[in-house]
Amino acid sequence: MKNKALLVGINKYPDPRNELRGCVNDILDMEYFIAEKSKVYPKENIKKLTDKQATKKGIIANLKWLIEGAAPGDQLLFHYSGHGAQAPTLHAPLEKDGLDEIICPYDFDGTNNTSLRDKEFAQLFAAIPKGVHFVWISDSCHAEDLSRDPFKVDEEVFKANNTHYRFFTGLQHYEEGVDEEEQKSDITIGGIAPIIKPLNGALLSACQSHELSADTYINNRFIGAFTHYLIENLNKYSGSKNMRSIIGLVNKDLEKNGYDQNPQTEGLLENKFFFL
């Protein structure tokens, strides 16, 4: 078996208004869990991209590395912690709400050329062969349906509980509209089949598509609330409960601790265990 993981965490964005604090800790904690604690993924088969490394080009290149050579029986993990947003879709027949869910790489500037859309992920992941155990974790705003948003956050609430949200400030390019040439995707989508079929894997998302994901302070360090409770429950139940059940427990932990987000699962493997 060949088990490989790509872990992406972005705290520092070019615009200081968009800086986060818990994303790098998210992927360091995930690396410890999968490599040291569980010993399922060899450290030499884990790649981490942080901050300036995590450009759109860098993420796509490393996703191709992750998928390349995958065969039945292999385990693949992609974990992203950083900003997420929604943008007007380029494929209107596929989106009832007219919006695509996107992640915001380090070089994201509010244009399509620097975002990674749900449709682009769909095409990339369509290349994963059946029989590969693929898990995708997104601790970002609007993470459901990717298969942190340009909303104002109450500053007093933030000061009171030391919680921020993984939303992105300054999406004026999307808000004002851009010309058709600028909106072209780096990945050509040659038909809708790879997009509309279910994900051959499991997506564990930090929240619903209209919600925000908390970047918070727990146990004297900054971390994503979703990633924290996900790893906590995986430590206890990864060998006895499937991923859908574990996300149910994470939902309860988030609600109990005052976080207004509802993690989701989707994909053909959501009823499987986190590890083979």
In this structure, what token pair is assigned to residue 108?
A: 């994201």
List helix spans (H) across 68-161: 118-125, 155-161
Secondary structure of residue 25 in the 3-state scheme: helix
Provide DSSP, 220-260.
TEEEEHHHHHHHHHHHHHTTTS-HHHHHHHHHHHHHHTT--
Q: Which residues pair with residue 7 across a beta bridge? A: 48, 79
Strands 202-205 and 133-139 turn out to be parallel
Which residues neighbour 70 within 8 Å (Cβ) at sequence distance 6 or greater?
2, 4, 76, 128, 129, 132
Distance of alpha carbon 134 from the chain centroid: 14
* Backbone Cα Rg of the chain: 17
Task: Catalogue the active-site residues.
Answer: 83, 141
Burial (0-12, 13-18, 19+ Cβ within 10 Å), 157: exposed
User: Cβ–Cβ contacts within 10 Å for residue 46, how many?
Assistant: 18
List helix spans (H) across the chain: 23-31, 56-67, 118-125, 155-161, 172-176, 193-196, 225-237, 243-256
